[in-house]
Each structure stands twice: as structure tokens, then as C-alpha cells.
Chain A
Amino acid sequence: MSQSARNLACADIGRTESKAHAFRRFRMSSLWLLVPALGFLALFFAYPLTAIVLRSFEGADASMTLEHYEAFFSLPIYMRILWQTIEISLMTTVLCVLVGYPLAYVMANSSPMVRNVMLLMVMLPFMTSVLVRTYGWMVILRPTGLLNHVAELAGLPHFDLLYNRSGMLIGLVYTMVPYVVLTLFSVMRGIDGRLVSVAHSLGAGAWSAFWRVYFPLSLPGVAGASLLVFILSSGFYITPRLMGGDRDQLLASIIAYQVDVLLNFEFASAIAVILLVITLICFGIYARLVGLKQLLTSRT
């Protein structure tokens, strides 16, 4: 459209042409509008991150060294935490898709009223403070909490679901499911349901119509949501720290501990860089596989 409008303007003479020029000039010069945001990000985001990368190579006498990375990769405890972070993030991702897929599926294929009610009930917790929701789960799961009270009344054994790996997984899955639901929902809304009815009319049962037609069409959403959840949970601090046990801590907790308690800033920087590299690799895969446009629709 803009092309044809421009052609029209150029074909015309005099006044209209100068207007078209003014418009084009405005568009060209409107690039300066990026300067404040990019300048702000350069000063308070790119520069501090660069500083952290440099700091991670800094030795005792301000010389360049790899000692912090050597320490990280040679001490079994840090390797265990690294693998644990990857393992927990993968488990979270799988569980989130298992919980989120049916919800997004029903949401995308319900009447507008049911859909809006469900959307509201996904959005309300999603928009509520992570700290508040985590506190809510601690109230429910703690040894003398709601769950164990109900279990006692029902004559069930005592549940031990807080301050250990299960607690951490519950908290992580809980926090990440809305991202999966919203990402999948926006993909599923675009799936043409008539394809499924065509499959039916060609003799497919409900099960095979779903697995052979609908599910493959929703796979881009599954891929995008999975990568997003993996990225977000691998760097997550609040919920693992509050709901996990001391032995189940992830990279983010260790970074905070090195800064807060041990004041070992260089080592903390090295761990942060390792986490950053993991994140950026996943972000790169995301950008190649799903495209950044998807990120524009998955939030809010």
C-alpha cells in the first residue's frame, strides 16, 4: 500500500511531490527516535554486562586470568549445580508443556465466554507478584500447611513438598505455566479447525485427527514455549531459593551467595557469564527457530 501511494505521489507534480518527500524524510529521520532507548540500554545494560565479562577474567593483581573459570569447572560442587540447573530447567519445561498444553487447547477451542473466563484466570495469577504467589504455595505446602491438614483429615500420609526438589519444581512449574499457555494459545488461535474436520470426514478418529493434524500444527508454539520456559527457569532466583532445599540450589542462587555473603565478585562474575552464555545460546536458537516476533506476542 505504501508503495503504491508513493508511486502515485511521485507521478503527481509540484506540491504533492514535495509532501511525499517530506514524508519520506520524516521516516528516514525518525531513526533518531531509537537513540534514547538504545543509549539508555548501552549505558545501563550493555556497559555493565561488558564490565562483568571483563571482571570474570580479573585476577588478584588486576591481571587477566582464567582461574575463576578453572575453579568453577574443576570443583565438583559447581559442576553439580550447573547440571542441576540444566536438569531442573528441562524437567520444568516438560512439566509445563504437559500442564499448559491441554489448558491452551481448551482455551483456544471454547466459546468466547468460557475462553475469556479462562484467560482471566490465567492472567490474574500471571500478573500477580511472583513473591506473593510463592508465599501462597509455602502456606499450602509447609509441614503444618493446608495440604497436610487436608491429608490428615483424609487419613493420607504426610506430604513433604517444601524446602526440597519437589517443592522447587512445583514452584517453578507454577510460575512458568502461564508463559506456555499464552504462547500456545496465540499459536492455536491461528490453527484452522476445518483441517481437523477434513481429517474426520476422511475417516480419521478423534485421536489420530488430533495427533496427525492438530498437534503438528501446534508444534511451533510448543517449541517457542519450551525454549522460553527453559531460558526463564535456568536463571530464576526467587522461587527456587524460597521453595527448594539447600542442596537443590541453582546457578542464580550461587551467584547471589557469592556476591552477598562471600563478596567474591570475580567468581560471581564468572558464574554469571556462564549463565549468560547458556541463556544467549537458547535465545539464539529461539530467534532462529521461532523468530523474535513470537516473543512480541507471548507476553501481556
Chain B
Amino acid sequence: MDVNAPVKPNLAVRIVAWGAIAFLMAPIPIIILVSFSSAQYLTFPPPGFSLQWYERFLGSNEWVQSIWVSLQVAVFSAVLTMVLATMAAIPMVRGEFSKKSIVYAVLLAPMIIPVIITAIALYFVFTKVGLNGTVLAITIGHTIVVLPIAFVVLSSTLQGLDPRLEKAAISLGASPFVAFYKITLPLLMPGILSAGLFSFLTSFDELIIPLFLGGPTTQTLAVRIWNSVVMEIEPTISAVSVFLIGMTIVVMVLAGFMKRAFRWTGSGGPQQENSHA
């Protein structure tokens, strides 16, 4: 049923909408343009083309070091999140128990509570046990922040799976564990992987947790960007930014592939379509 057919937005509304799109997209081409500038300072229009800011970014030990820190944190917290969120999503989608909505609220709370509160709360606790400044501390913080997002992705994937597939396997003699392992888990894999991808990206970009929980040797890329933007707006940041925009595009493309793979498994196409919004 195409429920949308009869509504036709008029020209004025369409212009406003594309204006909003332009507003949303605006910073991205500007950053890319500035990153190739040959000027020594930020000027408009850039006088010529140069790769100097990329050389300065990738030729600097500090910047490369912080990419490494960010990568460690993002990979560890994405893996941890994938395990925790997959396990939690199964009873939340399939199970029936009282107080379910309270568990929902608890699982989603880190998404709603300002990250700055989570960050200083963890900072106080980690100060007592001497964990501040370690990759582990930032990883734990990011797992908290990212868990609700992964849980949302996984719940919507699981909602699209037909539980009868698992039931059929069980009635044909498989143990519940084997049925889950052989039937549900493979079907869930694209969802798990795209949850992992989004967790990775969110962790890589997140600033406030490492700002409070990181130390001098564990400055993530986001913290280093922050420190240099707070002091002055230098063009090296534009090269770093293009690197991050590129990574976002790669993650979105990979997540798109996951979604298509999901469709090929033949279950719940339409549900997945909706969960995109």
C-alpha cells in the first residue's frame, strides 16, 4: 500500500526543504575545500592547491599516535558492545516478562543522560581506583555511551526475524542452543556487524569521555582536535576532518552492504526498511 501517493508538497515547501539540506551539508564541502588550501592561514577563497595540511597531519607523531589510541578504544568498545547488546536484545525482543519497560528505560538511559554527567561520574570513580588515563577507562566509558545505539540497531534487526525459524529447528530435534547458533545468529549477523560499525564510528568521534578519562599518553584524535580548535582555528584540523568524513562514508557504505546482505537472507525486508528512519 503506497500511503504517500496523494500528498504533493508544493514548490515553496520543496525549496525550503532543499534549503535545509543545503544547511545540513554546508560545512562538509567547505572543510574539504579548506583542507587543500595552499595558504598559511585560513583565507577565502584558497589561493591555490596544496597537500601541506595532510603532510602536517600524517607527518606528525602526535596526530598519528592519537589515531592509534582512538582505533584501540573504538575497536575494543565496539566488540564489547556487540556482545553485550546482542545478548540483551534477545530477551528484550523475544522474551515476555514483567517490568520490561523499566529494563528498556535502563538500557536506553545512557543515550538520554548528558554524556558530560556520565563522564564526570566515571572520572570520580576511576580516580579512586587509578584507572584514569588508560585506554581501558575510555573503552569502558565509550561502551556505556554506545550500548544503547547498538541495542537499538540489534532490536530492530531481531524484530525482523521470524521466531518460527528457530522453533522449526527445535521441533526438528535441535537443542535451543544449536537452533540459536545455527539459525538465529547467522541471520542476525548483518545486524550485529552494522551495530559494531556504528559503535566503532561513534566511539572514534566521541569527545567528552576521553576528554575527562584520557591522559597525556592517551589523547584520542577527538581530544587532540578539541585542544587545537579551542586554542586557534588552524587548517591542519581541516585535513584531520576530511580523514574523519572519509571514515564516516566508509562506515555508511559498509553498513549499506550489511543491510543488503540482510535482505538476501530473505527475512523481514520491509521491517528493516522502516528501521532506517
Contacts and interface: CB of A to CB of B under 8 A. Distances in A.
A262 B123 CA distance: 15
A145 B144 contact: no
B33 to A, nearest CB: 9
A191 B152 CA distance: 23
A177 interface: yes
Describe A's contact surface by its main secondary structure: helix
A193 B8 CA distance: 9
Contacts of A38: 88, 103, 106-107
Contacts, number: 317
Contact of B43 (A45, A144, A178): A144
Nearest to B25: A121
A5 B91 CA distance: 19
Given A107-B17, A129-B248, A206-B10, A238 B91 contact: no
Interface residues of B, number: 109
A185 B277 contact: yes
Interface string B48-91: 00000000000000000000000000000000000111011011
B106 A292 contact: no
A13 interface: no
Interface in A231-251: 231, 234-238, 241-242
A255 B120 contact: yes
A60 interface: no
Contacts of B103: 34, 38
B190 to A, nearest CB: 14
Contacts of B84: 36-37, 40
A79 B205 CA distance: 33
A144 to B, nearest CB: 7
B130 to A, nearest CB: 15
A259 interface: yes
Interface string B103-122: 11111111111111110111
Contact of A242 (B26, B42, B230): B230
Given A105-B13, A235-B116, A300-B152, A146 B30 contact: yes
A283 to B, nearest CB: 5
Given A105-B9, A130-B205, A140 B26 contact: yes
Interface stretch (A61-69, A70-78, A271-279): A271-279
A44 B122 contact: yes
Of A1, A125, A280, most buried by chain B (CB within 10 Å of CB) is A125
A270 B110 CA distance: 19
B181 interface: no
The B interface is mostly helix, strand or loop, or mixed, namely: helix
Contacts of B248: 124, 127-129
A237 B120 CA distance: 13
Interface in B9-33: 9-10, 13-14, 16-18, 20-21, 23-28, 30-31
B30 A136 contact: yes
A182 B205 contact: no
Interface in A6-47: 9, 16, 19, 22-23, 25-27, 30-31, 33-34, 36-38, 40-41, 44-47
A137 B27 CA distance: 6
B125 interface: yes
Contacts of B90: 30, 33
Name which of A25, A31, A47, A133 has the most chain B CB atoms within 10 A of its CB. A133
Task: Classify chain A's interface size.
Answer: 35 or more
Contacts of B163: 2
Contacts of B241: 129, 132, 135-136
B155 interface: yes
The 3 closest A-B pairs by CB, nearest first: A136-B27, A235-B114, A26-B176
Interface of B: 3-10, 13-14, 16-18, 20-21, 23-28, 30-31, 34, 42-45, 83-85, 87-88, 90-92, 94-97, 101, 103-118, 120-125, 140-141, 143-144, 147-149, 151-153, 155-156, 163-164, 167, 170-171, 175-177, 198, 201, 204-205, 207-208, 212, 222, 225-226, 229-230, 233, 237-238, 241, 244-245, 248-249, 251-252, 274-277
14 contacts: A1-B164, A37-B85, A48-B122, A124-B248, A124-B252, A137-B26, A145-B42, A177-B20, A193-B3, A252-B114, A279-B112, A279-B113, A297-B156, A297-B275
Interface of A: 1-2, 5, 9, 16, 19, 22-23, 25-27, 30-31, 33-34, 36-38, 40-41, 44-49, 51-52, 55, 99-100, 102-103, 105-110, 118-119, 121-140, 142, 144-146, 149, 174, 177-178, 181-182, 185-186, 189-194, 196-197, 200, 206, 214, 231, 234-238, 241-242, 252, 255-256, 259, 265, 268-269, 272, 275-276, 279-280, 283, 287, 292, 295-297, 299-300
